[in-house]
Amino acid sequence: MDKENALKGRCNYLLSKSIAAFIDTPVFAIFEAKDDNLENWYGQCGAEMYAAHLYNEQNDKPLPFIFGAVTNGLNWQFLKLEGKQLSIDTAYYSLQNLPTLLGTLQGILEMYD
């Protein structure tokens, strides 16, 4: 909880730069949409991304951007937080086209190498 930034709640899922038993430099936040309307959950995912950004800064591991995704399990939509600018990819990615979805995820994670 960060009262100063009006952040409270729990993160659904985080991907980190390293494999560890604890959170170390989160780079990707995944928010599970509670319904089929992914657009309703951009704000929640953006808040998780911003919290990850703050966490990285507080641990002296700032990153130029944090990625995120809103998903209902079948459909995915990607977001990018760069500074205080939140960008939303207008494309929808689906499990029905798994190679494209996984390729997009891989491409995002490779940006941090």
Q: What is the pLDDT of residue 2?
A: 56
Q: Find out whether 64 and 57 touch, Cβ atoms under 8 Å.
A: no
Separation CA 34–CA 36 (nearest Å): 7
Mean pLDDT of 21-34: 86
Does some domain include residue 113? no
Domain count across the chain = 1
Does some domain include residue 61? yes
Q: Which two tokens stand for residue 13?
A: 């899922």
Percent of the chain topping pLDDT 90: 67
Separation CA 45–CA 31 (nearest Å): 5
Structural domain boundaries enclosing 101: 3-108
Does some domain include residue 97? yes
The whole-model pTM stands at 0.86
Mean pLDDT of 18-44: 87
**25: three-class secondary structure by DSSP:** coil
Q: What is the pLDDT of residue 6?
A: 63
Separation CA 106–CA 46 (nearest Å): 20
Statement: residue 112 has pLDDT above 70: yes
pLDDT band at 81 (very low <50, low <70, confident <90, very high): very high
Q: What is the pLDDT of residue 91?
A: 95
